[in-house]
Chain A
Amino acid sequence: MKPKDAILSASHVGMRFKGLVAVDDVSLAVARGSITALIGPNGAGKTTLFNCLSGFLPGAAGSVVFDGRRIDGLPPHRRSRAGLVRTFQIPRIFHRLTLIENMLVADRAQPGDALFGCFMRRGATLARTRAATEQARDLLALLSIERLADDYAGTLSGGQRKLLELGRVLMTDPKMILLDEPMAGVNPALGGKLLERVEHLRQERGITFLFVEHDMEMVMRVSDRVVVLDQGRVIADGPPDTIRADLRVIDAYLGRADLGASA
């Protein structure tokens, strides 16, 4: 891939915890507007790699270029501002805020978000709140949780929390989304709908996706490309069909059936 086609390119990214090498010299480029799956057994380092990319592990080695700009060394909120956002494997929602409020926190165009902004730019704040609330309700409807919009997020089930987190990152109007097991705990019918939505977002808005997923059927169905991580290393990287064949070889060779096991 030519560097200019890649929205994200990581080189020699590494992270070790004490003696354990969780991410071992990973180099990876993700094409703009693509959907890439990151798979691998439990403990392979997928979440750790996400943490390296999104800035939550300041000790990470290697360099990361996002949208033509070096972002390693930037704190998480600056990477997010640059348009690279993420969700968490265990959803992190704001329990004592309503679903709508959860969504509105993610709004980037809100002048009232600044200290005294609500006084100094009162009209703009109110107008933006109205527009963003409408946008938030539409997104919640898309995720089939709009009837809970005014409930506290702490009352949501595990799967609903995943959906809310997804909605929240979409509110930020991102360029690229890192999804850590977005379908875990989500009802399969709705999961299928979400996949369609992901493809739609890629097409309509050109959003790039890198997602971790254990459900192989899902991975093969939506991704343009699959990256396999094992013990912190990239052991395979290619289009779904090639990887499907590869995985059988790897499984047979390693005598392990867990590489593609569903969660």
Chain B
Amino acid sequence: MLEFWLFVLATAGIYTIFSLGLLVQFGIAGLPNFGNGAFMAISAYAMAISVVNGLPMWAAAPVGIGAAVLFGLLLAIPTVRLRSDYLAVATIAAGEIVRYLALNLQELTGGAAGTVNLLGPGIAADYNSSWLRFQSGVRGLISNLVGQRVPSDVAFIAILWPVALLLLAAVWYMVRSPWGRTLRAIREDETAVAALGKDVFAYKLQAFSVGAALAGVAGLFFAWQVSSFSPDDFRPTLTFYAFVIVILGGKTNVWAVPVGAVLFAGIFAGTRFLDFWPLSVFASGDRAYLRLVLVGLGLIVLVIWRPQGIFGNRREDALET
């Protein structure tokens, strides 16, 4: 059971950081970016590639985040002026382009086999050892503190969650700052914001970049957690899940993101344990689909019943233009 909760917390921490980025882009600035998973992928790949090419971890991590922001700008410059429905389509396409590139640029990414093949097939590439050394150092520290050997997942969580909470606090502060207020105004009516003398395009690029940077941080932790990943880990569903977390949290509510992420990760991992009757009549492979169906149905019911999300403000939501 402990193992289950550690898994939930680790997944939820990564989703928290990732979804925070989406909250800034979509909830606050009104830019539905369905390609946010690609920023996560780019950061993870840029970090891994840098490490196997000899860069130390402390330098490779910012390279990853920088690559995510750079790609974010590259995608944002031609698309953020689009109406939001077209932006959604453009970003989903961009996300898929990145995934297919990662699949096909085998020399660079290791292709479908994933990062084990980063240095080419047959040579096991490893980008993770210095992270694992750091993590086991932290594990040792915690073990000494509590007086018993803790699982390594505990160390991962002990590094991940402080970072996540720090980013949460920073985003919370930025969202309620004048900068965040201007983004919300852009979400409501960008023509009016321009008429008031603000460079709407620049603000949108900033919001997009902040979201991409956060996705980049999430990508780093994802890569560190798994020690080998492949393009398949960054399917569009990744971003959809983050949308679910943000929407259930009420779209603009920063502190609802970690709650939503834990809930989501819990339900998602938890439905694995649905092996009691009548569900036990299904084969375990079918049950895997069944839990997706159940999660989906639950979402539909929730969105009909509470369109403003679990933590959202109904009064505010009713004013939607």
Chain B residue contacts of A108, Cβ below 8 A:
197
Q: How large is the interface on A (under 10, 10 to 19, 20 to 34, 35 or more residues)?
A: 35 or more
Q: Across the two chains, which residue of chain B brings its CB closest to A80?
A: B197
Q: Across the two chains, which residue of chain A brings its CB closest to B184?
A: A97
Q: Known contacts being A92-B191, A95-B321, is A118 close to B174, with CB within 8 Å?
A: yes
Stretch at the interface among A28-36, A98-106, A223-231: A98-106
Check B194 against A88 for contact (C-beta < 8 Å).
no
Bound: A114/B184 CA distance, A: 14
Chain B 198-218 near chain A by CB (<8 Å), digits 1 or 0: 111000001000100000000
Check B319 against A105 for contact (C-beta < 8 Å).
no
Check B173 against A80 for contact (C-beta < 8 Å).
no
Check B192 against A92 for contact (C-beta < 8 Å).
yes
CB within 8 Å of B: which A117-147 residues? 117-119, 125, 129
Bound: A169/B197 CA distance, A: 10
Check A95 against B320 for contact (C-beta < 8 Å).
yes
Bound: A170/B170 CA distance, A: 32
CB within 8 Å of A: which B288-321 residues? 315-316, 319-321
Bound: A75/B201 CA distance, A: 11
Check A93 against B177 for contact (C-beta < 8 Å).
no
CB distance from B73 to the nearest CB of A (A): 13
CB within 8 Å of A: which B193-242 residues? 193-200, 206, 210
Residue B131 at the chain A interface, CB threshold 8 Å: no
Check A85 against B197 for contact (C-beta < 8 Å).
yes
Give residues in A with beta carbon < 8 Å to B.
54, 56, 75-78, 80-81, 85-86, 88, 92-97, 101-102, 104-108, 110, 112-119, 125, 129, 152, 154-155, 168-169, 172
Check B191 against A94 for contact (C-beta < 8 Å).
no
CB distance from A180 to the nearest CB of B (A): 11
Residue B178 at the chain A interface, CB threshold 8 Å: yes
Give 8 A-B pairs besides A115-B206, A118-B173 with Cβ atoms closer than 8 angstroms. Answer: A54-B195, A77-B197, A80-B197, A94-B192, A106-B197, A119-B170, A125-B177, A168-B196
Check A118 against B178 for contact (C-beta < 8 Å).
yes
Residue B11 at the chain A interface, CB threshold 8 Å: no
Check B184 against A96 for contact (C-beta < 8 Å).
yes
**A-B contacts, 23 listed (Cβ < 8 Å):** A77-B195, A77-B197, A77-B198, A80-B195, A85-B196, A88-B192, A94-B184, A94-B189, A94-B192, A95-B189, A105-B182, A112-B177, A113-B179, A113-B182, A114-B179, A116-B179, A117-B177, A118-B177, A118-B178, A129-B178, A154-B319, A172-B196, A172-B197
Q: Summarize B's interface: helix, strand, loop or mixed.
A: helix
Number of interface residues of B (CB under 8 A): 30
Q: Known contacts being A77-B200, A94-B184, is A85 close to B179, with CB within 8 Å?
A: no
Residue B272 at the chain A interface, CB threshold 8 Å: no
Q: Known contacts being A95-B319, A96-B188, A152-B315, is A105 close to B197, with CB within 8 Å?
A: no
Bound: A6/B206 CA distance, A: 38
Give residues in B with beta carbon < 8 Å to A.
170, 173-174, 177-179, 181-182, 184-185, 187-189, 191-200, 206, 210, 315-316, 319-321
Bound: A78/B194 CA distance, A: 9
Check A96 against B194 for contact (C-beta < 8 Å).
no
Chain B residue contacts of A101, Cβ below 8 A:
181, 184-185
Bound: A85/B193 CA distance, A: 11
Bound: A107/B189 CA distance, A: 17
Chain B residue contacts of A92, Cβ below 8 A:
189, 191-192, 195
Check B194 against A76 for contact (C-beta < 8 Å).
yes
Check B320 against A96 for contact (C-beta < 8 Å).
yes
Q: Across the two chains, which residue of chain B brings its CB closest to A87?
A: B195
Q: Known contacts being A77-B194, A108-B197, is A97 close to B177, with CB within 8 Å?
A: no
Residue B196 contacts which of A78, A80, A116, A152 (CB distance < 8 angstroms)? A80
Bound: A94/B179 CA distance, A: 15
Residue B321 contacts which of A80, A86, A154 (CB distance < 8 angstroms)? A154
Chain B residue contacts of A95, Cβ below 8 A:
188-189, 319-321
Chain B residue contacts of A106, Cβ below 8 A:
196-197
The interface centre, meaning the residue of A94, A106, A113, A152 with most chain B CB atoms within 10 A of its CB, is A94
Bound: A110/B196 CA distance, A: 13
The interface centre, meaning the residue of A85, A106, A129, A155 with most chain B CB atoms within 10 A of its CB, is A106
CB distance from A232 to the nearest CB of B (A): 23
Chain A residue contacts of B195, Cβ below 8 A:
54, 56, 76-77, 80, 85-86, 88, 92
